[in-house]
Structure 1
Amino acid sequence: MKGSLRNGSLWNGCLWLAWRQQRVLVSVGAAVLVAVAAIAAYSRSGMLDDLGSGLFDHCDAGPIHCTRPDTGVPLLLDIEPLQYLGALNIALPVIIGVFWGAPLLGRDRELGTHRMVLTQGVSRGQWFASRFALAAATTVALSGLLAGVFAWWWRPAADRSYGLFWYETTALSGSGPRAVAAALFGLAAGTLLGLLARRVLEAMALTLLVTGAMMLVLEWTHRMRLLVPPHSYISAGGVPKAPMGEKWSAGHYGLITASGRRDDVMNCPFPSGAQLNECMDRHGYVARFYEANPAGDYWTFQWIDTAVLGGLALLLTALTVLLLRRRV
């Protein structure tokens, strides 16, 4: 009984020390969240007022910009602050990794203060778990709430010509469960590099490089459609193609022969009408096609990114635990 009480006291002491060391970062995160929520509430209210004014009632959904009937000037909602929030969510893994993950273990190791803690009967596992648990819980709460604020703010303007489409970078990578998994990846990467590097500044620089590179690689896979291939949309003969609407075009358009061969659209560069039909008959084309990702693929992108980033976060955390005995 005494042993369990002592262990409980040690664990509570570890948590208290972790809170003392991280309370400034937790407070900064809370302040950022409150500020973002206030800005979102104000801007979203203005957005709803604009939509309720009737100014956008004649606008159709789709990629073609809506214009004023009288002047032809493009009609757009003020979504710039929303895009800034999306950019913040995309940068959050780097920020958390550099300023929270890298010093989490690295600061104690550099200063040698962990030795004093470990001499008090605290195990390496307790020392790590108390710090990482608080940081991870705060990271999940902060990133999840920021992603939730983005989704709430975005909903009235989602996938509209005057708003923000699902495939734009700030929406696709700055929202949903992907944002939470990315933030955890940043924390895990920073923590591991803080354990491996000799100096905290060195760990912070390495974390900036690693997390930044990972975010860029994922953006590249989005643009190249490597993980979520586009769908093919085919229209027979010269029949008008299905409207693009909310789809994310892959930029691939063309013509199909009776044998199924696909050729470049410039072989018959006519939008429609008799010229198009004549050209298609002359070259033996029986259909046209384009490739795009439908709006439902938003969640496919989200869950694939979440699995990749979440899996890497778990792997890096497990590696940190395995290396604790050698590095501490």
Structure 2
Amino acid sequence: MSKKTVAILSAALVAVAGLGLAAATFSRKDDNVLRVANQKGQVKAMMLASGALEGAPYSVEWSEFPAAQPLLEAVGGGAADLGLAADAPFIFAYQSGSPVKAIAVQSPANQAAQALAILVKTGSPIRSAQDLVGRSVATTRGSIGHHLLLQALERANIPAEKVRVTFLPPGDAKAAFDSGAIDAWATWTPYTNVAIKEGARAVVDAKDYGLPLYIDIANADSIAPKRALLADFLKREAKAVAWSRAHPDQFAAVLAKETGLPLDIARASFERSNRVSRPIDASVVAHEEAITARFQRAGLIEDARNVSQAFDPSFSKQ
């Protein structure tokens, strides 16, 4: 791969709407603006590609983030009304006291290989989770990569403290990985796709551990005044996901334009966006309780909040 291509990939990774109206009734108490926090390569690209926001009786203000942690800080801090993140960072933020609520849940539509993985360089002697003992692994604190690392160590009966974990945002983690400053990197697409294209290999693949759920997360104080906007947006998002599933190449073209990623990487990243809605039920709550317990065993959460209170299932009934 040329130096120019690598530079384009790195810059893209660290850089921080014709559907009919939904049936929601909009009232004067709605301020007619929905502030949506977006991770690069996720909801915004789908909404733009599908035209799902065309005709919406409100405007959407997008804010861009490189990972779930700063996105959730924006939602929890009231700078955004809504954002999409995976199960682990959501519950980590909730257990840290953030005023966030899950209002919709989706599952991956297929077992996408290496969409979430622990990566090493091609020539690394690390071949399995057991080989991570005493090694340095970079990830983002409370992320799906962090959770995958804990799962892999747990399955291998390795105490979490036996691995040297360095918490870095994705851009810094990529730089550390490229330079050899760390031994492994627990991360997600599109970072996995780029790293593998550049010669990395996966020693742990999330498809062997159960892929994460993806969650639409609202600021708790936004739910009442913006219920109609949130409900309408969720319906449009579901249509956008369905459209993207039926038109992956068109979606990839928009994703490449939005993120600056090469088209082949954007096309590979589609697998993470390909998901299906599921009800907020006891199995979803139990799933988040298991993640909470895993973070607790690693000493990352002390006094856990009631996980069932982290969900607002009322939107699935609208």
| TM-score band, normalised by shorter chain | under 0.3
Structure ranking higher in strand proportion: 2
Larger RCO: Structure 1 or Structure 2 (Cα < 8 Å, ≥ 6 residues apart)?
2
The structure with the larger Rg is: 1
